[in-house]
Amino acid sequence: KAGLIELFDDSYTVESLRKYKPHPDAYRKVLTALDVKPEEVLMVAAHAWDLAGAENVGLQTAFIARPGKTLYPNAARPDYVVNDLSELASILRNATPAAGNLSE
């Protein structure tokens, strides 16, 4: 609904994996497909349980605090908590990467 679909190169599904998020293999499948290390990835979501799964695999995380969405109480706080994608983009634009981790 945000009109962003043309900005994506690909999409990924867990259908063939038959393990569903937040199972670690769901995140590892995408890391393998993209040939990237977990610390090189920022998972952005408005559902905190998904971020908890991503964090457990070593991904950086960003929570979009949309109306009615809350942080997952039994998980570590995401690296970023923002109100919308524009706010996250602004933070990332001004970040100084340290050892590949934007949250430092």
21-80 residue pLDDT tens? 889 999 999 999 999 999 999 999 998 989 999 999 999 999 999 988 889 888 899 999
- Give the pairing type, strands 42-45 and 60-64: parallel
Mean pLDDT of 89-100: 76
Q: Which amino acid would we find at residue 63?
A: F
Task: Copy the structure tokens of residue 103.
Answer: 């949250």
Give CATH superfamily name and number for 15-94: HAD superfamily/HAD-like (3.40.50.1000)
- CA-based R_g, the chain, Å: 14
SS3 94: helix
Map out the domains of the chain as residue ranges: 15-94
Task: Read off the pTM.
Answer: 0.80
For tokens 């990467």, the residue is 97
The CB density around residue 53, as the number of other CB atoms within 10 Å, is 22
